[in-house]
C-alpha cells in the first residue's frame, strides 16, 4: 500500500494541537529577557496567536526599566517575522503583561499588586531565570538559582489556577552520573540549609567554604542547579511540576532566524575566536564529545511537553 506524502500546504492546514493547548492560557515566564527566554517569547507570540496573556517577569537593568527592555527586545531581528505577521510591535505588546521583579531578591522583589495578579490569573509558570556563569560567586548563584527557585515554587503553590510549573534545569547538574536518566537524584546538599547559610554569611566566609561545599563538583553552576532541581522535586507533592534538562544550548537551527544568538557562550565563543584567529589551538580529549542542542529545538520541546502533560491521558509518575 502506497504511503501518502503530505505537502507543506497540507501540513500547514492541519490543526495545531500545541497552539490549541496555549489558547486562553496565561503564562508566567521568568528569564524571558535571556537567550532562551527571548526565543520562547517569540515562539509563543508567533505560533500561539490565541494565547491568553504572557506575564513576563522583568527587572530594571543598566538604567533601563522593564518597559524599555521589552521594547528593545521586540525591535530586534529575532522578532522581525512575528512583527510582520501581527502587523507591528503594538499587537505584541498587548499580549505581554510586565511583572516587575527580581528572582534573586527576597519575596522576588514583586509588588503586592503584581503578586495578587499572578496568584489569581496564571495557568502555567515557566521558570527559566538563572545565572549560567560557571565562575559565578557561590552566594550570588545560590540566591538566584536556589533561593529564587524556592520562592517561585512557593508562589506557584498559591496560584489558584495553576495547571503546570516547568523548571528549566540542565543536563550537567548531576555530573557524577555517567548516564543521566529521567528521574530525580539526591542533591549534593540540603538546599534549605544552603540558602540559610548564604543569607547570613559574608562573602569572605562563603568564598572560603566554597571548595568544601562543592566537593567534587566543578563549579557553582552545577552545584546550585542540582539544589534547585531538588526543590522542584520536593514541590511535586503539592503542585503539578516538571523538570527539563537541556544540554549545551546553541544558536537557532531553523526558525525564525537560523544562526541567531545574543551571546558568545559555549561553543559560539570558541568558533568566533577561531574565526578571528585569536584561538589557534585548544586542549581537549579526542574521545570526548559535546552534546549540543539548538535553542529553537529546546523551545519546541518546552511547548510539546506542556501539551503532552495537559492534553493527553498519561499516567502521572509518583516520586
CA distance 319 to 237: 8
Give pLDDT tens digits for 59-98.
Answer: 888 888 888 999 999 999 999 999 999 999 999 999 999 9
Strands 164-168 and 124-127, sheet pairing: parallel
What pLDDT score was predicted for residue 83?
95
Instruction: Tell me: pLDDT of 288 over 90.
Output: no
Kindly give the interhelix angle for 220-235 and 191-200, rounded to the nearest 10 degrees.
Answer: 120
pLDDT in tens, 131-150: 998 889 999 999 999 999 99
Q: What is the mean pLDDT of residues 211-230?
A: 93
For residue 102, the model assigns a pLDDT of: 93
pLDDT of residue 54: 97
How many CA atoms are closer than 13 Å to the CA of 135, on its beta-carbon side? 1
pLDDT at 22 over 80: yes
Sequence spans of domains, the chain: 18-311
Task: Calculate mean pLDDT across residues 154-178.
Answer: 95
The Cα 14–Cα 105 span in angstroms is 45
The rounded mean pLDDT for the chain is 91
How many residues comprise the chain?
Answer: 319
Predicted pLDDT of residue 318? 46
CA 167 and chain centroid, separation: 7
Residues 6+ apart with CB under 8 A from 125: 27, 28, 29, 30, 152, 155, 156, 159, 162, 164, 165, 166
Asked if residue 228 lies in contact with residue 145, where contact means CB atoms within 8 angstroms, the answer is: yes
The pLDDT assigned to 319 comes to: 44
Predicted local distance difference test score (pLDDT) of residue 181: 93
Q: Residue 64 has what pLDDT? A: 84
2, pLDDT greater than 60 = no
pTM: 0.92
pLDDT at 290: 82
* Strands annotated E in 223-276: 241-244, 248-250
In contact, 174 and 185? CB cutoff 8 Å: yes
Instruction: Count other Cβ atoms within 10 Å, centred on residue 57.
Output: 29
In this prediction, residues 213-238 reach a mean pLDDT of: 94
Q: Regarding the domain delimited by 18-311, which CATH topology (the fold level of the hierarchy) does it fall under?
A: Rossmann fold (3.40.50)
- Res. 28: pLDDT tops 60: yes
What does the alpha-carbon distance between residue 81 and residue 166 come to, in Å, rounded to a whole number? 27
For the ranges 57-61, 161-165, 170-174, 274-278, which has the lowest average pLDDT? 57-61
DSSP 3-29: PPPPPHHHHHHS--HHHHHHBT-EEEE
The mean pLDDT value for 16-23 works out to 91
Q: What's residue 3's pLDDT?
A: 61
Rounded distance between C-alpha atoms, residue 219 and residue 215, angstroms:
9
Amino acid at each position: 500500500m502506497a504511503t501518502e506524502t503530505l505537502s507543506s500546504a497540507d501540513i500547514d492546514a492541519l490543526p495545531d494541537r500545541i497552539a490549541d493547548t496555549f489558547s486562553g492560557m496565561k503564562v508566567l515566564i521568568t528569564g524571558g529577557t535571556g537567550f532562551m527566554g527571548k526565543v520562547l517569547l517569540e515562539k509563543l507570540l508567533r505560533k500561539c496567536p490565541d494565547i491568553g496573556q504572557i506575564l513576563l517577569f522583568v527587572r530594571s537593568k543598566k538604567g533601563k526599566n522593564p518597559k524599555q527592555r521589552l521594547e528593545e527586545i521586540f525591535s530586534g531581528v529575532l522578532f522581525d517575522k512575528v512583527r510582520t505577521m501581527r502587523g507591528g510591535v503594538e499587537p505584541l505588546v498587548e499580549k505581554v503583561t510586565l511583572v516587575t521583579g527580581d528572582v534573586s531578591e527576597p519575596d522576588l522583589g514583586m509588588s503586592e499588586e503584581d503578586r495578587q495578579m499572578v496568584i489569581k490569573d496564571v495557568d502555567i509558570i515557566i521558570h527559566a531565570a538563572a545565572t549560567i556563569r560557571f565562575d559565578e560567586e557561590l552566594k550570588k548563584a545560590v540566591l538566584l538559582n536556589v533561593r529564587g527557585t524556592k520562592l517561585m515554587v512557593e508562589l506557584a503553590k498559591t496560584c489558584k489556577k495553576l495547571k503546570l510549573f516547568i523548571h528549566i534545569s540542565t543536563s550537567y547538574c548531576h555530573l557524577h552520573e555517567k548516564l543521566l536518566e529521567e528521574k530525580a537524584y539526591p542533591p549534593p546538599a540540603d538546599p534549605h540549609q544552603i540558602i540559610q547559610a548564604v543569607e547570613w554569611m559574608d562573602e569572605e566566609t562563603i568564598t572560603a567554604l566554597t571548595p568544601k561545599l562543592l566537593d567534587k563538583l566543578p563549579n557553582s553552576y552545577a552545584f546550585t542547579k542540582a539544589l534547585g532541581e531538588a526543590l522542584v522535586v520536593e514541590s511535586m507533592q503539592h503542585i503539578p511540576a516538571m523538570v527539563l534538562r537541556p544540554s549545551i544550548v546553541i544558536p537557532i537551527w531553523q526558525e525564525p532566524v537560523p544562526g541567531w544568538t545574543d551571546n558568545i557562550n559555549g561553543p559560539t565563543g570558541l568558533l568566533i575566536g577561531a574565526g578571528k584567529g585569536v584561538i589557534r589551538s585548544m586542549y581537549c580529549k579526542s574521545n570526548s564529545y559535546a552534546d549540543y542542542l539548538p535553542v529553537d529545538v529546546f523551545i519546541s520541546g518546552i511547548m510539546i511537553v506542556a501539551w503532552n502533560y495537559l492534553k493527553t491521558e498519561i499516567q502521572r509518575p509518583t516520586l
